Amino acid sequence: MLARRALPRLQQPFRPYHRPRFYSTTELSNGITLAYDLHEPPASKSSSSNAPIVFIHGLFGSKTNNRSMSKVFARELNRPVYAIDLRNHGDSSHDQRHDYTALAEDIELFLKQHDLKQSTLIGHSMGAKAAMTVALRQNVHIANLIPVDNAPVDAALKSDFGKYIQGMRKIEDANVQKQSEADAILKAYEPALPIRQFLLTNLMRTPDGNQKFRVPINWLAKSLDHMADFPFTDPDAARFNGPTLIVRGTKSPYVADEMLPTIGRFFPRFEVRDIEAGHWLISEKPEEFRKAVVEWLQDKE
């Protein structure tokens, strides 16, 4: 059932009080409700046969991070783009369980409920591992896979993510009322302004005027080890034979050259596109990312 309505009480995510936001939701059979934005291709080129794209954000992100790029893909590829909020992020419901198997199940149920066939999954960071997990589980059919700056391996997260959690907790403890106050606190944990701005997109104002995070910080903190893991360890037992594009940042450690043989065993039809950027390559080099994805998908049509 598709709806724009309140979520079940026990899974009600933090909601903004200062302004309304419009999005769609899908209640899944496992009790999770996923929020999403649908970006349609131009009306003159729209067709029921246009294969959909599902765009999946990373840790502490949301569907809004991919809004501009989703609109570009819908226009240039003439395909509907579903930008989703994973559980515990954005406007989706909260749940104590947060690992890649759970995230993959949510995505699979979303694809089934919307009857999305021949889909392309694009995921960044946490979203990349979630998308790869969907592909390897083979519970739903997908046509193409585009993991962005993550690999199908167990690899420790950079310590930055733990620092982000510390800074976010410090902000909530301080009961700040202005985003500038939150930024001043977070500066001690992350010097880069663009990353601080990204994290602070999760801030919302409560009725008492304080700024709180809409993501469940404590639950996500307990899940950081799960975000470093990957649920598949044997490439001989699970394999995705569809076209796969690995987009990686040359200044990021998450898809090192020594990981490529493992990637090739899980995804034998993979290709690599390098972008001179760090882990946040979609926001750092949007034009290079757009070109890599659009040209690759057009070649696969």
What string of pLDDT tens digits covers the 301 residues of the chain?
A: 344 333 333 343 434 333 445 789 999 999 999 999 999 998 765 555 589 999 999 999 999 999 999 999 999 999 999 999 999 999 999 999 999 999 999 999 999 999 999 999 999 999 999 999 999 999 999 999 999 999 999 987 776 888 999 999 999 999 999 999 999 999 999 999 989 999 999 999 988 889 999 999 999 999 999 999 999 999 989 999 999 999 999 999 999 999 999 999 999 999 999 999 999 999 999 999 999 999 999 998 7
In angstroms, rounded to a whole number, what is the distance separating the alpha carbons of residues 112 and 105? 11
Helix (H, G, I), strand (E, B) or coil at 273: strand
Q: What is the pLDDT of residue 21?
A: 54
Report the amino acid identity of residue 27: E
DSSP state of 299: H
Residue 300, pLDDT score:
85
Q: Residue 273: beta bridge partners? A: 247
Task: Return the CATH superfamily for domain 2-154+229-300.
Answer: Alpha/Beta hydrolase fold, catalytic domain (3.40.50.1820)
Helix, strand and coil percent figures for the chain, each rounded to 5: 40, 15, 45
Compute and round to an integer the Cα radius of gyration of the chain.
19
Question: Which amino acid makes up residue 8?
Answer: P
Coil, strand or helix at 30: coil
Sequence spans of domains, the chain: 2-154+229-300, 160-224
Quote the pLDDT of residue 47.
53
At 282 the pLDDT is 95
- pTM across the whole model: 0.90
268 φ/ψ angles, rounded to the nearest 5 degrees: -60, -20
Residue type, 259: M
Q: What pLDDT, on the 0 to 100 scale, is given for residue 45? A: 59
Query: What pLDDT is stored for residue 111 in this prediction?
Result: 98
159-184 per-residue burial string, b: 16 or more CB within 10 A, e: under 16: eebeebbebbeebbeeebeebeebbe
Residues known to be catalytic: 125, 279
Chain centroid to CA 230: how far? Answer: 16
Residue 203 CB contacts under 8 Å (≥ 6 apart), including other chains: 171, 179, 182, 211, 212, 213, 214
